[in-house]
Structure 1
């Protein structure tokens, strides 16, 4: 597997896990970008929007417009993937105990 694909899988998992950590299960893209960078997964705003669109296509998040930005809202299926109860190809599976 190419390094770029590994990075995408990790980015997608971290996005879902960040959303799962907050009350309301929603964050704007600016906070998500900062969270990914804090995990060592540097990503551009355009790259983040691409990952968010992919996650929405999979039914794992819902996107809402907030002026010029977007807010991601975790779905119940997305929560299952974030916690390892469900598996989706293209998203890193969390290790047991994480």
Structure 2
């Protein structure tokens, strides 16, 4: 239930297996629900990143979209924001719930 699969004696993230497939592939999946196996087919598609990397795109030159509500500023999560925690080790230094959005 943690998003990993057993492979060659170790646990790997399920996303690793998906990245080895073509975006239009159809894969067979076995899911355990209520202790019983459920078999289904899933068509893969390209996923848009939840956290855009504006450093290497035209978006870096654009003004960010934001909403000011009750004195709080809300904006999109971006890689430059995560780099503020540590340019060299942001994966470990930034809040875990934010870094997970990059890799999902």
Q: TM-score, structure 1 length as denominator?
A: 0.24
Larger Rg: 2
Q: TM-score, structure 2 length as denominator?
A: 0.23
Higher helix share: 1
Higher strand share: 2
Higher relative contact order (CA 8 A, sep 6+): 1
